[in-house]
Structure 1
Amino acid sequence: MIRGIVAGLAAGGLWGLVFVAPRMAAGFSPVDLTAGRFLAYGLVALAALLAGAGTRRLPTFHQACAAAGMSLPGFTGYYLLLVLAIRDAGTEVPALVIGTIPLWVMLLGKPGDLRWRALAPGVALTATGLALMMAAPASGQAGAHFLRGVALAIASLACWTAFALLNSAWLKRHPQVSLTDWANWLGVATGLGALGLWLAAGSAPAALLAQPGLGRFALLCAATGFGSAWLATILWNMASRRLPASLCGQLIVSETLFALLYSFAWDGRWPTQAQAAACVLFTLGILASVKAHR
């Protein structure tokens, strides 16, 4: 169990990195950062497929189309919207908005025997925490661009929530497809989509190479592509295999908490009292929602 908890927390730490990466590569466009991250993910997935060429299945036409279709909301679209949201609203509020994904997935996929009354405390705590964080944005974030960032974060949330529900339903309808094969097919599809995104709207190669901080940008793309996408998925699968589903649900909260920790560390400041209270309320809300599903 200890190994499972450590693996789950490590996955959360890697996922949290994607929230501060756009600020660490502030001179690069959201398109370049999104494309760079998922090109790295696609290359890792392709290498994994080639390494197991004798044992890995290739997708059928319909399976390839499903992977391509779900890679757009689940990876490229989700992260591009998130990077834009962080550009406009900073890290803290988008991190909390995205952190409600487990709650929305639970609400939309609610078991028939679970009463709405049982979910009310968690929903109320989470909503209060979000409202408190958005009512006290960091200096320089207030204004129309901040509200636009919140809207983009909500759109990003909608993309990944839709992906989570569609992905779960697809896997249940196709039990013959292994989880490893599906993850690699999604990775290759995401990498191809990222390449198309960069060719259509990314910076010209000469401009990209001349950009200051190119080394940091490349390192962040590798860290978020290899680490936050491919490796984090492996760690999360390890946690899911070793731990009860209810405990895994609680560990998802670590993604948001790591994102906030990285953000405050990057800024070199402590959270305000309102922000700290919002984090506590948000965490309690998610845990209350998970408890209601036990």
Structure 2
Amino acid sequence: MLTGILAGLGAGALWGLVFVAPRMLAMGQGGYSSVDLTAGRFAVYGLVAAGVMLLGLGRRRWPTMRQAAAALGMSVLGFSGYYLLLVLAIRDAGTEMPSLLIGTIPLWIMLLGKPHGLRWSALLPGLALTLAGLLLMMGSTHGATAGAGLNFWRGIGFAVVSLVSWTAFAILNSAWLKRHPEVNATDWANWLGVATGLGALLMWLAAGSDLQMLAARDDSMRFVLLCVLAGFGSTWLATILWNLASQRLSASLCGQLIVSETLFALLYSFAWDGHWPTLAQLCACVLFTLGILASIRAHR
């Protein structure tokens, strides 16, 4: 159980990086498109996964047609489709509100993936603390969203759809791994990576920017670096860690660990902006953390 918890927290720390990546580039009109960043990140993921599979050619399992189809479907729900929607949300609504909405994923997974033998009364403290943290953080950012226009609410819409996409992925991925214990976490991460990389290539060919235009930009090296960091660390390595957590923990406990993604995303956002969080935001982070600890205790 401890290994699963540490793996889930590690995945959350790596996932938090992708919330600030769109803010580190010139996005939108005259800059990089959401498809460019999404396709770049997952092209790297696909290349790393394919490389690992080829290096272990004699030792790695290869997927059956049914397993390959499952990987392709999961890759859209949890990777390319989800992140494209999230980048669009951050472009239109900033970092804080999308990260908070994604932070409600633990609530939905806990409600939908509760183990049969676990009483609701045992879950209520963790749920209450997590919800209180979300509401407090949301209230502390109300000034930034006052007078928001159509773009902001469009971003919130993208964030809600991305939330639904990843919630479905988390539940279905956990169930699939439990039904297939013969598939280890690294193999599954690599299969997902190859499927996601192929999807990213098709996405960029269909709607990405011209390659020469991308190479001519002043911040092209930053774009490449972010794609490599997001593709290797925040995707390939994070997926292995999350698969380890999914195999060792219930879906509801995994859901609570996703709160760490929101905490790290906010931490990275504050660091990028160069200011400390307010007292209310710090209190919200404490409530998030207490919610995780309460949920871990309930699952013992």
Q: TM-score range by the shorter chain?
A: 0.7 to 0.9
For 1:228, give the aligned amino acid. Answer: S
What whole-Å deviation, never above 9, does each CA across 1:65-98 have from its counterpart, x for those lacking one?
Answer: 1111111011111111111122222222222332
- Decide whether aligned partners of structure 1 residues 287 and 90 sit closer, same or farther in structure 2, where only a CA change above 3 A counts: farther
Q: Does the Cα contact within 8 Å between 1:88 and 1:141 map onto a contact in 2? A: no
Instruction: Specify the SS of the correspondent of 2:260.
Output: helix
1:32 aligns with 2:40: no
| 1:10 positional shift | 4.7
User: Residues 236-275 of structure 1: matches in 2 within 5 Å?
Assistant: 252-275=258-281
Corresponding residue of 2:220 = 214
| 1:164 positional shift | 1.4
Selected match of 2:129 from 121, 125, 128: 125
Task: State the alpha-carbon separation in 1 of the partners of residues 5 and 222 from structure 2.
Answer: 31
User: Residues 43-62 of structure 1: matches in 2 within 5 Å?
Assistant: 43-62=47-66
Q: Does the Cα contact within 8 Å between 1:103 and 1:286 map onto a contact in 2? A: no
Task: State the alpha-carbon separation in 2 of the partners of residues 205 and 272 from structure 1.
Answer: 42
Structure 1 portions without partners, runs of 5+? none
For 1:290, give the aligned amino acid. Answer: I
User: Residues 1-294 of structure 1: matches in 2 within 5 Å?
Assistant: 10-27=10-27, 28-137=32-141, 141-142=145-146, 143-144=148-149, 145-235=151-241, 252-294=258-300
Q: Which moved more, 1:133-142 or 1:254-263?
A: 133-142
For 2:116, give the aligned amino acid. Answer: G
Task: State the alpha-carbon separation in 2 of the partners of residues 6 and 121 from structure 1.
Answer: 22
Q: Does the Cα contact within 8 Å between 2:97 and 2:138 map onto a contact in 1? A: yes
- Decide whether aligned partners of structure 1 residues 239 and 107 sit closer, same or farther in structure 2, where only a CA change above 3 A counts: closer
Q: TM-score, normalised by structure 1?
A: 0.86
Task: State the alpha-carbon separation in 2 of the partners of residues 276 and 113 from structure 1.
Answer: 34
Task: State the alpha-carbon separation in 1 of the partners of residues 163 and 253 from structure 2.
Answer: 22
Q: Which moved more, 1:51-60 or 1:141-150?
A: 141-150
Q: TM-score, normalised by structure 2?
A: 0.85
For 2:13, give the aligned amino acid. Answer: G
Identity of counterpart residues, as a percentage? 70
- Decide whether aligned partners of structure 1 residues 63 and 51 sit closer, same or farther in structure 2, where only a CA change above 3 A counts: same
What whole-Å deviation, never above 9, does each CA across 1:254-284 have from its counterpart, x for those lacking one?
Answer: 3322211110111111222333333233333
Task: State the alpha-carbon separation in 1 of the partners of residues 177 and 244 from structure 2.
Answer: 18
Equivalent pairs, count: 293
Q: CA RMSD in A?
A: 3.0
